[in-house]
Amino acid sequence: MMKNERLVFIDVETTGLDHRKGHRIIEVGAVAMENDQIVSEYQSLIHVDVPIPRQVSRIHGITNEMLTRQSEPENVFPKLKNFITDSILVAHNAKFDIGFLRSEFNRLELSITNQIFCTLEISRRRYPHLPNYKLETLYRRLVGPVPEDTKRHRALDDARMVVAIWMAMEGK
């Protein structure tokens, strides 16, 4: 990476696993870094007209009630587009997160043209001996214990974990 590149570490929480089946993003978290320093963060819950199945809600803890008074996609994704412009995107399992983002952006006639790196793919190549490549497993292996106040499967905290993993993989 060039020293002056802006990196945005991004994570989404969704109503299900497949945007092609109508599942939607209900939370986005992003952390911007320049010169190895976090410079800003963006987080939003998103109100969509797709109910969150109970088994999905159990994973991230986001309920339909929590989304009732939240911003609509057309208010969130243009702001996110502005936040990520001229940045390299980094996500853990980027195929999932960026696939959902492309789907949401397409609904609003926005596009993603950013260069993208995936910590999941990189870690599979670099650390072939790990028992799995879950975000938490990788964090523990490269950074240490997950802080107790971290809300797992919440977008901003997961994006922050990706930052720490990236920095550890970069030797910083």
Instruction: Summarize pLDDT for 60-104 with one digit per residue, the tens.
Output: 999 999 999 999 999 999 999 999 999 999 999 999 999 999 999
- The residues of the chain scoring below 70 in pLDDT are 1-3
**Tokens 């945005």 label which residue?**
8
Identify the pLDDT of residue 61. Answer: 97
- pLDDT over 90 percentage in the chain: 96
Identify the pLDDT of residue 172. Answer: 86
- Stated pTM of the model: 0.96
Nearest to 13 by CA among 30, 31, 32, 26: 26
Give every CB contact of residue 130 below 8 A, 6+ residues apart in sequence. 123, 137, 138, 141
Rounded-to-integer distance, Cα 31 and Cα 50, Å: 27
3-state secondary structure of 97: helix
Rounded-to-integer distance, Cα 61 and Cα 148, Å: 16
